[in-house]
Structure 1
Amino acid sequence: MQELLFESLNVKEELKRAVKDMGFVEATPVQSKSIAPMLEGRDMVVQAPTGTGKTCAFGIPIMEAMKEEDSFVKALILSPTRELAVQITNELMKLNKYMSSIRILAVYGGQSIDRQIMALRKKPQIIVATPGRLMDHMRRKTIRLDRLEQLILDEADEMLNMGFREDIDEILESVPKERQTVLFSATMSQDILRISNRYLTDPVKIQITKSEITVPSIKQYYLEVSPDDKMDLLARLIDVNDFKLSMVFCNTKRMVDELSHEMTARGYLSEGIHGDMNQAQRDRVMRNFKEGRADILIATDVAARGIDVKGVEAVFNYDIPDDVEYYVHRIGRTGRAKEEGVSYSFATRRDMYRLKEIMNYTKAKIVFVTAPKVSEIADVRTQRALADIRKVMKKAKLDRYAKSIEEFLSEEENQDYTILDLASAFLSREVGAEQLREIEGPGKKRDRDRGGNKKSVRLFINIGKLDKIKKKHIVLLISEKCNVKEKMIGDVAVMDKFSFVNVPSSKAQEILHTLKGLRYNGRKLNVEISNKRK
């Protein structure tokens, strides 16, 4: 199926801008198949798994139909749970970014009904509701649906499973017959078909198969790893495979910042990109990545939507995504133009259930592999170095270097060495094999005492250059407030909005407690141990 580009949609420019700000360029399969018929006003029955981009599939047509002057409920989205209702509302709010006069309200149980009644007085045009609470408002006549034009049943099978069958029937019976009704469901049970046959008019039937949300041309692997070892594992996989261009996905902006800083400190050409960066910063990062000044792009999902860079050899799921749709979009950054790509997912014990969900939904074969050994990396580096040396021997004039070697070996203190010894020493230095460590994290071997305990931990502090703070200020802050000697505080890294610092592990909890809530230049401090992952 040909990919639909959001820019090509015949919708309001404000809506296109909002979609672009959300990072979306290409539509997912459910969006590609659903948006056009819904814009035409057709009823639809859509069978699609959870996490395939359904909210935008109905959200874009709903927002397109809205008019500022409307003062009645024009669209209703029914959802089985309050969590999903809130999630849908948040997505619609993002689509509403440049149409702020459109009013959207979530109505669900567990929230004060009086507060909802006050919000309803502002006359929302779109209501996202759970069936039970919506029925309460309909009985009170605080919600009127007599002019409703669009009705969406999201996860209809779940609503039926939760016992809302009678409520759904009553709602569908009470709204105007001249309306657009769209039903989304992961399964097509007899009850779903009954609702479709009874309440929908000549519906367009759309089925998103699991094969449509996977990328078969990509080799997919996963590795079991502890959170503290992810960074070393990432470096090792890049080294052993000699990837020239790769993308790394994290679930949080903070993790993007931390990882890009640490990888740069290790000597990798890496850049980070996320939603908190302004457009100029994002453009600079992407320009560096596309032009080869950076070979590792570390990103959040939203920031990476729509990124299309040729030649990405590998994608790393540094954090397992919460949504199968994010997984598909992530690994889709590689293996383009009929080239075979590869993806690696770093799974902790907590992540295994999500990884299994991804495998079930996509029918993907995600193969377990073990971390490369130090000896493998040394062997790979050796072969690369020898290949480079072969090129040098073919092209360079080596006479004067040969003479220097003869003079070196003729010296009395070096007469026990052979040319082979000398060549091996140069190769060892080139490969850097003696610097390779087993996965344990940077510096952790030397940072442990004889009992095996960590001697230092790395702290994250939410202040940086923009707060007019320097390394010496952070050292003074910790030493003066927490009674820690300056010489025990080290490896301070100050970024624009945050900083990192190493402190003795024996003092870490005391520092966290002491600095919590303090203010620096008017900013309330937040201090955490940075190597703790969720």
Structure 2
Amino acid sequence: MVFKNLGLQEEILRAIEDLGFETPTPIQEQAITQILAGNADDIVGLAQTGTGKTAAFGLPLLQMINPADRATQGIVICPTRELCLQISNGLQDFSKYLPKINVVPVYGGASIEKQIKDIRRGAHIIVATPGRLIDLIKKNVVKLDTIKYAVLDEADEMFNMGFHDDIDEILSYAPEERKIWLFSATMSKEVEKIAKKYMNEPLEISVGHRNQSATNIDHNYFMVEGRNRYAALKRVIDFYPEIFGVIFCRTRRETQEVSESLAKDGYNAEALHGDLSQAQRDYVMRKFRERSVQLLVATDVAARGIDVNDVTHVINYNLPDDLESYTHRSGRTGRAGKSGVSIILVTPREVNRIKDLSRFIKKEINYTKVPSGHDICQNQLFSLVDRINNVEVKEDEVDKFLPSIYESLQELSKEELIQRFVSVEFNRFLDYYRGAEDINARERRGGSRDRNDRFGSRDGGRDRRGGREGSRDSRDGARSGERRGKRNFNGNSERFFMNLGEMDKINKGALVRIICDNTGINSASLGSIDLRREYSFFDVDKQVAGKVLTKLHGAQHQGRKIKVEIAQKRKRS
């Protein structure tokens, strides 16, 4: 099937040809055919992110607009500014040879006065974010009583972002005879509610199964302890030398911390989150689209609507809170028929969610081991060799320097020359990963959630001082900290208060390491540990209580001064 066989008018076909498109995607073929044939007033189109839904509704919408009527005839509602601009630019490209049709984008964060002027000059189609569209309706600038077509794009995302009431309000201004075309990557309960409430026996067009992930994306997960999450992220990035990807985090703070840590460790990364101004977000996105930024670290909200070609990898630094969000995350890669990879970092306690997620996207999510230092060095070496093989040689510029270079290197054999040339760039990976430990975690049952996510450490197997993870006693303590529980010393123990807790990103095992490393005591001298949000209590054998008090009180943990007191004294005070 080609676009010429779908019933599109000549002017639109010329624009499509100029853009280099010949064959429609499955969602485009089905939606355009059904809409132009008039087989249903209302349409529900379900397809994965990156399958060309803009053209699926945009091409027939342009063809059905009457350019002689200056009134607004169609609205396209979408969740974010980025997507709003993307859709409006797409419609303007498609209407290249339809100069009398005006498409106007309206969104928050930009001058409302300019948008009002653009609308009053005539807007056959308005592409809008919900909030700004409501503002313009209330100002009597936009009147929806003339619209014939209402498109809800990325509908599931809009409802996830809390726009349900806004959509209700917008559609209440539209005439009852308007047609609604709803396009979404997943069929959530909120989407079904809108379909039932506002649509009349809608025709469902579904590419693949409902909520299914794109078939050209490989899904993998790595299982690590929480304290090794950042180290695993770095290993994944180093394992793929040509990576161009998006790293998803849960919170704005985590996004900023991860991007700053990556930048500090020499990676080309930028953050994208809601605390940035619109100008800052535009600047970061422009750099990412131009590929002057290799890694975009983003929250779900900030990254919605991102449409950047050739993203090779999506890395889920944490699992999203809801299953639908994972579909949108992974959809940032594998766009326009290209292949992509989606990677998830999980702790042993989270691994059961992988099974639920796999059932939801109807694809296998494969367990993969975190790359070893040897594997990373091998990939980096072969990548360097490929770059040398394919580098463009500018002979006119280089030749004038070659005689002196030949003279200075003439004592080296061909093998020695290659060896030294490769080592110039490769040595840093060899030095960094020499002796790197295996940071893969084993699946376990029970135990408390590991909250010790650290940023900026050299690797998961090393502490901030650059050595191994403490003494044998402290490592044993880390392993047994979760099961220490009810050990007692026949009444001969002392209970201590410490000013470190879960908010300091430590777990019981980490607390054991802190105590043993700073005092030199054996982990067997530790009893029960009670970890709270802002502080903790722990029991020790009375024989070493004095050493704990003198050596641990006043010590430092990640720049914070440790305070230790005997718990009974603290209670009396």
The alignment's TM-score, normalised by the length of structure 1, stands at 0.46
The alignment's TM-score, normalised by the length of structure 2, stands at 0.43
